[in-house]
Structure 1
Amino acid sequence: AALLDETELVMLLSAEEDQRDAILEIHPGAGGTESQDWAEMLLRMYTRWAARRKYTVEEMDFLPGDEAGIKSVTLRLSGPHAFGFLKSERGIHRLIRISPFDASGRRHTSFASVDVIPDAGGDIQLDIKESDLRFDIFRSSGPGGQSVNTTSSAVRVTHLPTGISAQCQNEKSQHHNKETALRVLRARLYNLELQKREAERQAQYAGKDAIAFGSQIRTYTLQPYRLVKDHRTGSESGDVDAVLDGQIDQFQHDYLLYRHEQTR
């Protein structure tokens, strides 16, 4: 059965970009520490999932939260069909729990957005003119007092014709940050090309709503009951701990089947 599943999966991952590495970004929604903590829980979930698949995870950019959690993170996940599997994760993820940050123990709803784009790599020919790029150098905004903040090494690159930009402030080296930002920018421009080719994907991106109610793809409920439910496929799991520990294969598989049915 496992072999059949694997064969079926490969059949479902037939798009040219499905076999590429993935660039994954997580951003917390409104709600301060609460959503920043949720964003970090998602980061752990994807890191555990990647480790189980023996994928390589490279942290391209990371901005810590004020008290806990993260303000944003960009990862590159490398391994067979990384983008193909992770495209199921694009959208708003909602968490319902008793907040560990609320002294009165009330139930809170937090949101975080996950975006996944295929890594263009070095073999994709993208016609990017040097004159179309603008580089802005600024200081990293991490925790105070670290040497990373004392020099202006963070880099933002903007592709002027499209307005698409990418930034990196991970390394002390401006050169390294520039390389990383350019790589993310190339991936975004490649993704834009793919969107143009597939009008159906264009429609999906038009539906990228605010990080709030109504636009979520999956809800993770820890209280008053325990359930993870995917709103696109109806797929659900009562083992919330396993899901948050990276066991999201069933959700991905069901999503690929759902997409396959939709595009037939």
Structure 2
Amino acid sequence: MISPAGLSTSGTVFDYDSLQQRIREINERMAAADFWDDQESAQATVSELQRIQGTLKPLESLVQSAEDIEVMIELTEEDDSDESKAELAQTVNKVERDLEALEIRAIMRNPEDACDAFMSVQAGEGGTDAADFAEMLMRMYQRWGEQNEYKVSLEEISPGEEAGIRSATLHVSGDYAYGYLKAENGTHRLVRNSPFDSAGRRQTSFAAVDVTPDIGDSIDIDLNWDSDVREDTLRAGGAGGQHVNKTESAVRLTHLETGVAVLCQSERSQHQNRATARKMLTAKLYQLEVEKREADIAAKRGQKTKIGFGGETIRHYVLNPDQYVKDSRTGTKTGNPGAVLDGDLNEYIEAYLRWSISHEPTK
């Protein structure tokens, strides 16, 4: 049903010769007179070039730094001063930090890791507290995007009855957005004294996060949009002025075979919402196939795997009486939940990526 097109998994992102060859191919394509005739395809090509260059630049910087260290060691042997030793130590520490960052990037070797990401947040058990928690998570990912220079746009949102949201979908664009954010896929749990309980009693609530890669045209999906998918148009919900209330610009697409449904209402144009909804549905169907394959592999190994909402809780946010955030998979724990909920997620994301190496499904 699904096959990668134009994305190689034969090596890691640090196959220097292959990356150089790919740059030459892209430059030749960009030099063609008709390159910009297809704006969407051209922009995708430019984005690919930027991603490759973004990989090569730190790699080349590391190589240069290693050569600098060799020279500095020789100079330190001749000039055994504290200043020379301090400069050498500073350079070594910087190289170690750069190498760690490069190792994280190397972990993200699946073709979809380099893609943008769709993030859906859905309130679970816990009533109004769960709806409020879902909105807290949505804001957390928006803040993470701002802090890490990713573009985050709101594709759809369904408000809660009293507070918070029932669900929302974000689109996060930037280098390896999906590769990083797939760490957030799963059920999240919040424990706190409820601000919606008149007695302020302790409340446990849940929200589910579903992360899918925006695969664009890089994956071929055997899908007939006329017969395999039902399209419904409806008025966009939430605040949006007279236009939102009077026109049926929102588009919901439902894949009939699987029941997978997506909704887009972020644009004023029904045509634009339809195009975005198709990308969202394609991404979800691709991710569904990936999860099925991983579940089959896990079943063969005797592992218990639960896919989608209702799975095991991946992270706990405890605000009362103790204060901490703990990841169930990696054991990563910090005592400042306010900072985490304000977007300080990199420690958890990097820990997950390192943990995932030893927990990958194998054939």
Question: 1:260 maps to which residue?
Answer: 357
Point out the structure with the larger strand share.
1
TM-score normalised by structure 2 residue count: 0.66
Find the counterpart in structure 2 of residue 192 from structure 1. Answer: 288
Deviations 1:220-241 (A, max 9, x none): 1111011111111111001111
Is 1:153 the counterpart of 2:253? The answer is: no
Bigger shift: residues 245-254 or 119-128: 119-128
Of 166-175 and 48-57, deviating more is 166-175
Change (3 A) 1:92 1:196: closer
Match of 2:194 in 1: 99
Question: Does the alignment pair 1:122 with 2:217?
Answer: yes
| Pairs within 5 Å for 1:39-78 | 39-78=134-173
Aligned equivalent of 1:234? 331
Cα deviation for residue 204 of structure 1 reads 8.1
Q: Distance in 2 between matches of 1:41 and 1:28?
A: 11
Higher relative contact order (CA 8 A, sep 6+): 1
Deviation string, structure 1 residues 221-263 (Cα, Å, up to 9, x no partner): 1110111111111110011111111111111111111110123
**Any idea what SS the aligned residue of 1:135 has?**
strand
Hey, what's the Cα distance between the residues in 1 that align with 2:304 and 2:276? 27
Identity %: 46
Larger of the two Rg values belongs to structure: 2
Please list the CA deviations of residues 70-117 of structure 1 after superposition, one character each: whole Å capped at 9, or x if unmatched.
111101101111111111111111111111122211111111100101
> What's the offset of the Cα at 1:133?
2.3
The counterpart of 2:310, out of the listed 205, 210, 231, is 210
SS at match of 1:217: strand
State yes or no: 1:163 paired with 2:255: no
Instruction: Name the SS for the 1:262 alignment partner.
Output: coil
Query: Which whole-Å CA distance do the structure 2 matches of 1:164 and 1:74 have between them?
Result: 14
Report the Cα offset of residue 152 of structure 1: 2.8
Q: Could you tell me how far apart the structure 1 residues matched to 2:117 and 2:171 are?
A: 6
Deviations 1:161-214 (A, max 9, x none): 333221223334322221221111111122234335544489786343537xxx
The Cα shift of 1:146 comes to 5.0
Distance 1:43 1:187 in 2: 19
Query: Contact 1:148 / 1:171 at 8 angstroms: preserved in 2?
Result: no
CA contact (8 A) 2:126 2:203 kept: no
Find the aligned partners of 1:75 and 1:56 in 2 and give their Cα distance: 10
2:175 matched residue in structure 1:
80
* CA distance in 2: counterparts of 1:150 and 1:222, whole angstroms: 42
State the alpha-carbon separation in 2 of the partners of residues 97 and 119 from structure 1.
Answer: 34
**What is the CA–CA distance in structure 2 between the aligned matches of 1:250 and 1:186, rounded to whole Å?**
30
SS at 1:116 equivalent: strand
Residue number among 342, 345, 349 corresponding to 1:245 in the alignment: 342
Counterpart position of 2:236: 140
Q: Secondary structure at the match of 2:215?
A: coil
Q: Does 1:109 align with 2:204?
A: yes
DSSP-derived class of the 1:122 partner: coil
> Higher helix share goes to which structure?
2
The CA distance in 1 between the partners of 2:100 and 2:111, in whole Å, is: 20
Change (3 A) 1:116 1:205: farther
Report how many aligned residue pairs link the two structures.
261
Change (3 A) 1:209 1:68: closer
Q: 1:205 to 1:21 in 2, by over 3 A?
A: farther
